[in-house]
Amino acid sequence: MADTDHHVTELVEKARAGNRASLELLVDHFHKDVFRMVYYRIYSLMDAEDLTQDIFMQMLKSLPSLKDAGSIRPWLFRIALNRVRDFRRKKSILSFFGTTIELEAAAQATAENHNNPANAMMLKEFQLQFRQLTDSLSRREREVFLLRFVDHLGIREIAEVLKKGESTVKTHLYRALKKFRQNPGLHGLLKGGLL
């Protein structure tokens, strides 16, 4: 893990100095993480791809202003989060009508990638249960929960992304976990696990 962090820091330094190969490696390193982060916030495959492209363009533009190369991950997630917020603001009405269709389409697209029919079924169920859980959380709780357990950021990193105190992050996380514990459907699914 420390080696990976060191490697990423080196890539950031080289990319800032204009090394295109390092920049491409950096994008490759974070591409899936950023895409997934965006996807679980807007549940739209195409929009997530567009936003991911925008996020990396913003990263490219703002890279010289990054003070600490070691904190690239929370910095990038902060850019992503801001982009998602802008997107939601712009498409609040459209997404209200289109989300379910998008969600099903995305689930279908992912299910096609799974050869195991049981897993494909589980995927659909998971997506629905997961969506129900995130919908039951407040905006802050959802953000903190997703950043911690889906994007695997530490408390300090989350505080950095959200520009909040660590104690505030912990409070939101605690509330989110309480609601998570009260979701029986998702619990059953998680006990079953992947086949």
Partner 1 sequence: MNSKNLHLNDDQVIRSVVAENDLPPTVRNHLSTCLVCQGKKQQIEQELSTLGRMAREFAPLPRREVRLPFYKPRSLWSWRPVFVAGFAAVLLIAGIWWYALVTTSQEKMMSQIMWETKQDEQLMAEIYALEEYAPVDVYPDVSAEFDAGYFDEFLRFVSPLEVNQNAV
Q: Is 60 in the site for partner 1 (CB under 8 A)?
A: yes
Q: Is 23 in the site for partner 1 (CB under 8 A)?
A: yes
The pair of three-digit structure tokens given for residue 191, joined into one six-digit string:
């006990």
**How would DSSP label each residue in 125-157?**
HHHHHHHHHHHHS-HHHHHHHHHHHTS---HHH
- What's the CA gap between 70 and 114, in Å, rounded? 36
- What's the CA gap between 187 and 176, in Å, rounded? 14
Q: CB-wise, 89 or 122, nearer to partner 1?
A: 122
- 3-state SS class at 45: helix
- What's the CA gap between 147 and 84, in Å, rounded? 14
86-103: string of b/e by CB count within 10 Å (b at 16+)? Answer: ebeeeeeeebeeeeeebb
Q: Is 152 in the site for partner 1 (CB under 8 A)?
A: yes
- What's the CA gap between 56 and 93, in Å, rounded? 26
Q: Is 87 in the site for partner 1 (CB under 8 A)?
A: no
Out of 100, 132, 178, 185, the only residue in the binding site for partner 1 (CB under 8 A) is: 178
The pair of three-digit structure tokens given for residue 79, joined into one six-digit string:
């850019």
Instruction: Identify which range of 28-36, 66-74, 78-86, 157-165 contacts partner 1 by CB under 8 A.
Output: 28-36
- 3-state SS class at 164: coil
Q: How many residues belong to the site for partner 1 (CB under 8 A)?
A: 49
Q: CB-wise, 69 or 189, nearer to partner 1?
A: 189
Q: Is 113 in the site for partner 1 (CB under 8 A)?
A: yes
Out of 16, 131, 140, 164, the only residue in the binding site for partner 1 (CB under 8 A) is: 16
Out of 126, 143, 153, 157, the only residue in the binding site for partner 1 (CB under 8 A) is: 126
Out of 8, 11, 12, 40, the only residue in the binding site for partner 1 (CB under 8 A) is: 40
Binding site residues, partner 1, CB under 8 A:
15-18, 20, 23-24, 27, 31-32, 35-36, 39-40, 45, 48-49, 52-53, 56-57, 60, 64, 106, 109-110, 113, 123, 126-127, 130, 149-150, 152, 155, 170, 173-174, 177-178, 180-181, 186-187, 189-191, 193-194
